[in-house]
């Protein structure tokens, strides 16, 4: 039995997210599995490094699957790209050790949230940025972002419903990259909760608009109440950039 690792890129705009769902076939996982089943004649189940929500994009999603097929790595990649929709691309296929697991072996992830901040909107990146016409105070957003660095309980910054699972995570860094009117916020951490990055981003945006004070972040975090944090920034601005398997 072979273990195949894939590097995947997708535009999540028209999909219900990564994970296969029982009530729709419009997910990234379903589309890829469907093509692999046709190629191999096997009941393929792919394992993703993590779930991305509806509308979220990926440049560096990683997944793996097991198969007995004899196709080469390039043949698997080319077959998938021929039959997959144009908004899903298999960038690389590598045969790996049978024990490799895309989710369990991941040690950290990097996401980018993109904002387009201008009084005039843009057409060509509207599906990949969150448009904000009001001027943002970037220095205040940077100041507030420092409160999120380190090991913290992010219960106030997640939409996760389960009370049994830990909401403690570690964020290694939050960096801002400004290019004209576009603001990219780059998050690197050991893992992220459901909608955690979008809620942190929404909170930073409210600080940038003067609706919240950066000094309130520790209080919000310690209170562990979701409604005290900022909005959930929309999914179109978020992209899974890279999954790390080495510390």
As annotated, the active-site residues are 53
The number of angstroms, rounded, from the C-alpha of 87 to the middle of its chain's C-alpha atoms is: 16
Residue 102, number of CB atoms within 10 A of its CB: 21
Which residue matches tokens 């790595």?
A: 73
The C-alpha atoms of residue 247 and residue 228 are separated, in whole angstroms, by: 34
Could you tell me if 32 and 58 are in contact, meaning their C-beta atoms sit under 8 angstroms apart? no
Token pair for 67: 């198969």
Q: Which helix (H) or strand (E) holds 38?
A: helix 28-40
Could you tell me if 232 and 204 are in contact, meaning their C-beta atoms sit under 8 angstroms apart? no
The C-alpha atoms of residue 156 and residue 200 are separated, in whole angstroms, by: 9
Could you tell me if 170 and 189 are in contact, meaning their C-beta atoms sit under 8 angstroms apart? yes
Token pair for 235: 């999914």
Could you tell me if 171 and 241 are in contact, meaning their C-beta atoms sit under 8 angstroms apart? no
């Amino acid at each position: 039995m072979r273990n195949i690792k894939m590097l995947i890129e997708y535009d999540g705009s028209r999909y219900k997210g990564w994970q296969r769902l029982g009530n729709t076939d419009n997910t990234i996982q379903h589309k890829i599995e469907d093509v692999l089943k046709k190629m191999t004649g096997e009941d393929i189940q792919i394992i993703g490094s993590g779930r991305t929500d509806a509308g979220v994009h990926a440049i560096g999603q990683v997944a793996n699957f097991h198969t007995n097929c004899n196709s080469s790595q390039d043949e698997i990649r080319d077959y998938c790209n021929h039959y997959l929709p144009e908004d899903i691309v298999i960038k690389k296929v590598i045969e790996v050790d049978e024990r490799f697991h895309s989710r369990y072996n991941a040690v950290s992830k990097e996401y980018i949230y993109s904002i387009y901040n201008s009084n005039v909107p843009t057409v060509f990146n509207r599906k990949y940025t969150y448009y904000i016409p009001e001027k943002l105070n970037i220095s205040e957003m940077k100041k507030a972002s420092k409160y999120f660095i380190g090991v913290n309980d992010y219960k106030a910054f997640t939409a996760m419903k389960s009370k049994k699972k830990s909401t403690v995570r570690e964020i290694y860094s939050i960096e801002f990259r400004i290019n004209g009117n576009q603001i990219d916020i780059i998050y690197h951490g050991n893992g992220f909760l459901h909608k955690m990055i979008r809620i942190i981003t929404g909170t930073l945006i409210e600080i940038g608009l003067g609706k919240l004070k950066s000094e309130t972040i520790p209080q919000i975090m310690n209170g562990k109440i979701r409604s005290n944090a900022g909005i959930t920034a929309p999914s179109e601005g978020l992209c899974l950039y890279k999954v790390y398997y080495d510390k």
